[in-house]
Structure 1
Amino acid sequence: MSPKAVLAPVFVQVLLTFGLLLWTGRARFAAARAGAVTLKDISLGERTWPAPVQQVSNAFGNQFELPVLFYVLTGFALATGKADHLFVGLAWLFVLTRIVHAGIYATGNVVIRRFQAFLAGAVVLMAMWLIFAVRILLA
């Protein structure tokens, strides 16, 4: 499988992360400008941001949790030549679940739907790791 095909889902995941970063910044500046928070309110943490701002911020922060294992696995799969069509298909599925999860979190934040999207992504990523490990250990 070509590096371009393997890295395409990674690029989309990175784009999602940067998109959420920009959305978070815009939401925070808008809230501060509107007087919803003061600098003193937010100087020691993020708990005093209005809920919609916190939702987007949390969606951004989540991109540094489960996706880290995706990035590492993709690097390993490329380095070992174990990235095939199945790997790329599962990678796209994982990224799709992350987009859905972030969309739910940053907008309506229906917790059960958000959890379902998270769980789907976690299961896909676990399957990716299991398949990779078996291919490496049994090679």
Structure 2
Amino acid sequence: MTLTIKLIILAMAAQVFLSMGILVLLGRERVPRIMSGEIPVATIAVERDAYPLKARLLSNNFDNQFQLPVLFYVGAILSLYAAPGWPEAGLAWLFVASRYIHAYIHVTHNRVTQRFMAYVAGLAILALFWLWLVVRLVILAPSV
């Protein structure tokens, strides 16, 4: 297994661990409030409004982990199939770093402008990742 394959797999694992970490933090915010009766189950069956702000931020961020990252996973798996190079490995890690920054901003001070900038940076990196992947696999690949 090449180093670039390992780096892509590790980037995907880092993104998965981010999602799991947010889910653990979300559970730590929600479960005690429900178990203590502070928040009746009926009030959260459909809407999240009964939860305090921190739990809502974590919940929104967890939802975010299934938006752009899904496109990342598809591209990363495709790159693994096609033997990734250094551009894919570097862009994969830059994307994951942008997701960690976005998550940190989202669940701490939640400055929307900063959060948006982190999101747009991740989107741009992901677009470059996909653009490079298409160029490498479709345009630069030898014809069969």
TM over 0.5: yes
Distance 1:34 1:88 in 2: 47
Q: 1:18 aligns with which of 20, 36, 39?
A: 20
What's the TM-score, normalizing by structure 2?
0.89
1:7, CA displacement in angstroms? 0.7
Counterpart in the other structure of 1:58: 60
CA displacement 1:18-66 (0-9 Å, x = unmatched): 000110011112333372x221210122232211110011111110000
Counterpart residue type for residue 53 of structure 1: A
Cα RMSD between the aligned structures?
A: 1.3
Cα displacement string for residues 64-100 of structure 1 (whole angstroms, at most 9, x for unaligned residues): 000000000000011122x111111111110000001
Q: Greater shift after overlay, 19-28 or 39-48? A: 39-48
- Structure 2 residue 50 is matched with structure 1 residue 48: yes
Residue matched to 1:95: 96
Structure number, greater radius of gyration: 2
CA–CA separation in structure 1 for the residues paired with 2:37 and 2:81: 49
CA shift, 1:12, in A, is 0.6
Task: Give runs of ≥4 in structure 1 deviating > 4 Å.
Answer: none
Contact 1:6 1:88 in 2 (8 A): yes
How many Å separate the matches in 1 of 2:37 and 2:121? 37
Aligned pairs, number: 137
Q: 1:34/1:113 Cα in 2 relative to 1: closer, same or farther (>3 Å)?
A: farther
Matches within 5 A, 1:112-127: 112-127=113-128
Structure 2 runs not aligned, ≥5 long: none
Q: Which runs of 5+ in 1 are unaligned?
A: none
